Amino acid sequence: FGRMVMWVFGYGSLVWKAGFEYDEKVVGFIKGNRRVFDLACIDHRGTPEFPARICTLQAQEGAICWGTAYRVRGDPEKENLALEYLVRREPEYDIQAHVDFYQEADFETPFLTGVLVFTSTPNKISNKYFLGPAPLEEMAGQIAKVVGPCGNNCDYLFKLEKALYDIGHADGEVIELENEVRKILGGIDAFTLSKIFSTTPDKTSNKYFDLCPDPLEEMAGRFAKVAGPCGNKCDYFFSWKKPCMML
């Protein structure tokens, strides 16, 4: 006999992709846990030989973890379908816990109680999927290289960062890890980009600013023909394509 209303909290890929039928989605957080990339994924974003790093929860006093809660309302069959899907999708998570869920309007009184969350045992002996913590550079190197049947490990990280930003609660640790991965991949993080020196767009005060804005075709022609001691102008332009696409 199932409950007529079930709530599920997502803090990883569930934030941007539920994958099951739900009736309502709300933004909020749980207490006493932080999001960490300590869990292995060997069938979606990684392989048994080269496991991906995905999110799990780590108990920590005073910590909060933002995410989204999904309401599944209806008959027991609808609830069971959602649960069966989640169990198939999240085989790495060996714990199904129930937690209090809070919203920004009230940090003290739970908005919901008994919300289901999938997490994992933080023990390498009893949980074969638990990788444990690692230095930032090591985690970034692993995430940057690993690919599984469902895509790159780095895409999981990038989508999570964007999803948390979209719900208004960017995670500083996720951003730090993402920036480190982008460095390995040849990208540029937003902070570094903001530090790139700009030029004064005035011919009087800046002797190097000697070109006025030109039509697209004229600029393209100049890029295609000009070369200097260090190479072609077009090569410089092309070298920025990948980093800019990754921002």
Could you give the residue numbers annotated as active site?
90
Write down the residue that tokens 């011919």 correspond to: 203
Cα–Cα distance measured from residue 171 to residue 161, given in angstroms and rounded to the nearest whole number:
7
C-beta neighbour count of 27 within 10 angstroms: 16
Give the CA angle between residues 4, 163, 60 to the nearest 5°. Answer: 75
Residues paired with residue 247 on neighbouring β-strands, in sequence order = none
C-beta neighbour count of 162 within 10 angstroms: 15
The token duo for 207 is 């002797």
Phi, psi of 61 (to 5 degrees): -60, 130
Write down the residue that tokens 């690919």 correspond to: 147
Based on its alpha-carbon atoms, the radius of gyration of the chain, rounded to whole angstroms, reads 23
Phi, psi of 105 (to 5 degrees): -65, -25
